[in-house]
Structure 1
Amino acid sequence: MNKIQKQRLAWRTGFFLLFILAPVLDLFRFDLEKNHFILLTYPWTLGIDAFKSGDIGAMEMALNMGLRFFLPLALIVGVGIWVAWKWGRLYCGWLCPHFSVVETINHFMRKASGKLSIWDREPLPEKQADGTCIPVNRKWWWPTVLVILGFSFLWAVVLITYLLPPKEIYYNLFHLSLTRNQALFIGVATFLFIIEFTVARHLFCRFGCVIGLAQSLVWMGNKKALVVGFDRARSTQCAECDASCEHACPMRLKPRSIKRKMFTCTQCMQCVEACEKVHENDPRPPLLHMLSEQCALDVSLRDFGLKPNIPSDCFPPIHHSEAEKQD
């Protein structure tokens, strides 16, 4: 695991813990009983009830709507669009708690079946050119099933704490005294998550997640956005590899293809790391790099059959003397 992947693991872990603890600590949740948001332990209301009762006037109500609804919404959407425009699905690959579950289940399922998804036709090689060695053992299906069940139940419980008082939910859960509606919500949600995490987690990330889909659409609109670039001038060198970059992709994409076919790239950069490992003892530089601005056009504009002039410094030069020594 290189430095970037260690940083990504730290960000994902921290955000996943925040996702679980935010309602418990009253950092953010919507209280159905009080019918308003709670933000940083304080009630976040628009003052609708106060306006109806005559406690505040129309001007104060309009001010509340502007400062507590439209302004925060504009900031969140604006920052989200700006980040997606420059870096794509950065939230998905570096923060999203759902994608953390996807990657974790991928890891266990690959140990159990050699595949990242039950829908994959062929298993991945147990030993790869990037040094990855994952022997397949059907005994890993038991941990895989437990991980899926555990995450499904956890997500169901956490989601209800965003709507009802967390202390009440966890107390009732611990004492096995959930109300009928609480038990029904957790039971149905757990069942649905089991199905999604088992057979449709990649499909959900690609086309079912509104946040992810919006990021992809914005990213596709910027031809100079950050993207995985492939040094096409040395494409013959890929014949020496076993497509380790494709095997490393948790979304099962082909990093050497055009941008349109990488529509759901989460910018996790695991393909780049795999390529670096393949070339770890090779004097020639890796063929995959993260590119932006003019360098990104080679990947973006090829969607339209164009072959733009790419700056010569987009990819590190190969030192022929070293390559000859290697040969």
Structure 2
Amino acid sequence: GGGAADRFQYYQLQVVQENSDALNWFRRFTTDSYVPMGAAETGLLAEQAALVGAIVLPQTVDVTQPFTLAYRHLNTTERFTIDIQLTGLALQLAQGEDVLSAAEIESILRAENSWLNQLIQDPSWGVTPWSDVAALLLILASAMTAFLRKSEQLRWITLTITVAYLGFFDGGFISVSHIVNTIKLGPAFLASGLPLLLFAAFTIVTTLLWGRIFCSSLCPFGAVQDFITRFGPKLWRRQVSQSVHDKAIYIKYLILVLIIGTAALAPQVSIFQYFEPFGTLFFVNGTLILWVILIAILAACFIVPRFYCRYACPLGAALGVVSLVSPLRIKRVPQCDVCIVCERACPTGAIRGEKIDFKECVRCDICEIKLIEQKGSCRHSMEHIIAS
């Protein structure tokens, strides 16, 4: 019990072995005889003992034979005994045999010290916010289900949740600030929280495989732009000339280079907030100039669908570069070289005839849904093509 444990006296330990003279009382504390190891609060002994310690057996004890550990409480005649018979690994260790080779020991130590083991045993973020993790996983699952099933309705539901939860409520969205902090603090920054680690891993993997799925369904600012396009006055929209568009799309890549260069060469300087209005909108926090930038961007989105994604988003630029290696791309059909229905409907202007500028594509499913509805082959009438 706890009271008895508090009064534990090491010198009341006794080792007894029949048919030998191995009778030994530990009369004083030394590191050669008894080593205290603290309270048994966790592990296999948590409910069976109050204290844990280690003793060094006398040389006269034959470890191949049974022996008994005895303990008597101070000022009492009560005696507790434990009969012990060492076998297997315990016996090998007691006899000083080499149980593992040097290579095996080194391998075990490497595994114990690996980043994955440390991440599991002692995560850098401390206590895991499981409710946040569960909410994020549901949103990610919803986005992937909508994408894989080409469900327009589910995508709009996901966009609504993305704006409400990831944007205004939780604020756990991915932004270019994460790229900046990763450059300044190293990759360990992404492991500062399990939700961030999962979100970053999901974004990287899906972009490598399919392209910018994050931009289409999981970016709250991208979702805001889609809502503006869907519910904003269509009379306000203007078509950007192809020549201007082809040049303007590279502005965001220049912004990305500027932000990354500043983070690498002058870590104490922060400029990304002037090019990414996420924090100003969703945290409702910013200087006057940041609010002016935000309002200007939102106003531009009423005129040009996904204006910010097209021309100014540094995170979209980074994901666009990654998506260049994506193997699972949108399939085109022969009629795409004459039909411009999808080209006109593309929110980022990534389609030109039968070709798609994949780094600019946000995998919004609009063109794919149109193809699916036509059962894999474009059957739009020429009147429809001309009217569009």
TM-score after normalising by structure 1: 0.44
Max Rg structure: 2
- Higher relative CO (Cα under 8 Å, sequence separation at least 6) belongs to 1
TM-score after normalising by structure 2: 0.38
